Each structure stands twice: as structure tokens, then as C-alpha cells.
Amino acid sequence: MDIAELAKEFGGKGISFEEYQGFPAVRLDNEFSTALVSVYGGHVIEFTPVNMEPVLWMSEKSMFADGSPIRGGVPVCFPWFGAAPEGKSGSHGFVRNAMWEVSAAGITPDGGNFVTLYFQADEFELYYTVSAGRQLTLSLEINNKGVADFSFGGALHTYFNVSNAADIMVEDLDGLRYLDTVINEENIQYGPLKIDREIDRIFHTCGSTRIIDPGFNRIIHIDKAGSNSTVVWNPWIDKSRRMPDFGDEEYHTMICVEAARVPKIGDGGVVSSGVPVELRQVIRIEQLN
């Protein structure tokens, strides 16, 4: 459908459609926040509560091209996380590089609004509901189209906008085991995680996480379900310079904290026929003072 057709079928109070960087996108507006979701990749581009800094970060160098991932926001990594399995190509799966379909949109009971996007492949189908209001709720429902069990990896690869990465703390990871993929070693986190180097850690946890950001005077609460892995990533100096779709200095203003299923640490997902699996992330903001 083009933008006019989408607006006619799914538009309504606080729900509109626009072109964003060459692709159709859904704008969710209400008294609490505004959000933007690209139909390409099922990609959440923006979530901004009223009178606050944007919660999500987008790279100014992001490539908006068919077949390429968008850098920033919330990419949907599926049906694998990280490097492609044998016989496949592309990191983090292929659904983030493809067009989805809009299947529903409406108002939530708390006065926010939502859009549901749909994607299908030979082995699976996905329903992704993005709800924006007082908080941002992301719900990825995974359905197995076959008879045999379907194994997967994936993540809601959320890029958060921060005042200065060196000044923030990622809390609620104390005492947890993690795989440091920069040096390929297992370790244990002691105290809050501070960003002073390249960070790429996969934590063994099904719990919530907080980003404490004094510069923006806020706490970002990240709750999740259907995930036993939390990935924290910041490319820091050298890696930022190696990535063509990431500005050399942009690492200062972002941090990824991701609800994930990562088979390499024993957290791969399995979907049986007729039994949907959900990967869910809820993001809410609290003022520091």
C-alpha cells in the first residue's frame, strides 16, 4: 500500500502516515508522547515524551536504502543475532532489511496509540506491536508456520539517546555473568557499568535494567520479557571510525541496551507449532529530580 491507502485504512486519532527517508512510516501522537515507526524493517525511529529529550538515538550517517539496515532507533534482529549461521548471509537476520505490512492500528486503553506490523517468511510469521503513550512498549510475537520446532536468535536492538556516554551508568547488572565479545571472555559485572571503552557484553539475565543519565536528568527504565540475555553495546572510538553508517564522534551520545535471545550463550529461542513466543521490551522515563 502507498501512504494514501495506508492512511485511508488505518489512519485515525493520533495515527497518521508519512514518508520518512523514502519509506512509508506511521506517526503515533498523543498527549504523552510522539513516536515514528518505519514500515521498512519494522523499525522504531523515534520515541519522544512531551517536554523531554528524544529517548531513541539515530545516527546522522544512517543509510536509508533498500536492503540496508537503519542505524539507530530499534532494529528488529531476527531470525538470528550476530553473525549469520552457515548457509545464510548478513548479520542480525534479514527482517530489519525488508518491508513489513501494516495490519492494525488504534488507541490504547491508557490514552496512547499503537500500530501492529506483520512479516512472514517460509518458516515463521511475526506480529510486531509498537505502543506509545506514557511509555514505549514493543511486543514481537513469533509464530511457527511449520510442524517441526523452529529455533531462532534475535533482539530488540534499542539505541538510547544519552547526554554523554562517559557520564551515564547502566544499573541492575551487578553480580551478573556476561560474555565480553570484544575479548571473547566470560566475566562478572561488579557495580554499575560505566562506559569508558568499547563495550559489547551479553549479560545472562531476564531482569530489568536502568540507564542513569545525570546530563538529561532522567532514568530510563528498561523492562523485558521472553529474554534471558541483555546486550549492552557502545563502539567507542576506533570502531566508530570503521563503520560507514556511524559518525566518528557519535559514540558519545548513544548506548544500546537490548532485550535479546542469544544462542551463543545458551539463550536461543524455540517456537513450537501453534504456540507463539513473545519478545517484549517496555521503556519508561523517570526524572532524576
Kindly indicate the confidence band of residue 149, based on its pLDDT and cuts at 50, 70 and 90. very high
Is the per-residue pLDDT at 83 higher than 90? no
**pLDDT higher than threshold 90 for residue 254:** yes
- Could you give the 3-state DSSP secondary structure of residue 31? coil
Residue 89's pLDDT is 75
**Mean pLDDT value across residues 129-146:** 98
Q: Quick one: average pLDDT of 186-200? A: 98
Q: Residue 289 — very low, low, confident or very high, per pLDDT cuts 50/70/90?
A: confident
H-state helical runs in 99-216? none
- Asked if pLDDT for residue 29 goes beyond 90, the answer is yes
Residues near 97 by beta carbon (within 8 Å), at least 6 away in sequence: 41, 67, 68, 69, 90
169 φ, ψ (degrees, to nearest 5) = -135, 140
Q: Write the pLDDT tens digit of every residue in 39-54.
A: 999 999 999 999 999 9
How many structural domains does the chain have? 1
DSSP string, 40-59: BTTEEEEEEETTS--SB-B-
Mean pLDDT estimate for the chain? 96
pLDDT at residue 1, as a whole number? 78
Q: Residue 210: what residue type? A: R
pLDDT at 240 over 90: yes
Q: Which 3 state secondary structure label does DSSP give 270?
A: strand
Whether 87 has a pLDDT exceeding 80, the answer reads no
pLDDT at 90: 80
- Residue 168, domain CATH: 2.70.98.10
Look at residue 84 in the predicted model and tell me its pLDDT: 79
Instruction: Please state the rounded mean pLDDT for residues 272-287.
Output: 97
Model confidence band, residue 199 (pLDDT cutoffs 50, 70, 90) = very high
**Structural domain boundaries, residue 38:** 3-287
| Residue 86's pLDDT band (cuts 50, 70, 90) | confident
- Residues 254-279: what's their mean pLDDT? 95
Give the separation between CA 134 and CA 171, rounded to whole angstroms: 22
Residues 261-273, mean pLDDT to the nearest whole number: 93
C-alpha cell at 266: 545458551
Q: Which residues, 6+ apart, have CB-to-CB distance to 156 below 8 Å?
A: 74, 76, 77, 138, 140, 258, 259, 260, 279, 281
pLDDT at res. 37: 99
How far apart CA 2 and CA 196 sit, in angstroms, is 45
pLDDT at residue 3 tops 90: yes
Q: How confident is the model at residue 205 (pLDDT cuts 50, 70, 90)?
A: very high
Give the gyration radius of the chain's Cα atoms.
18
Q: Looking at residue 137, what is its pLDDT?
A: 99
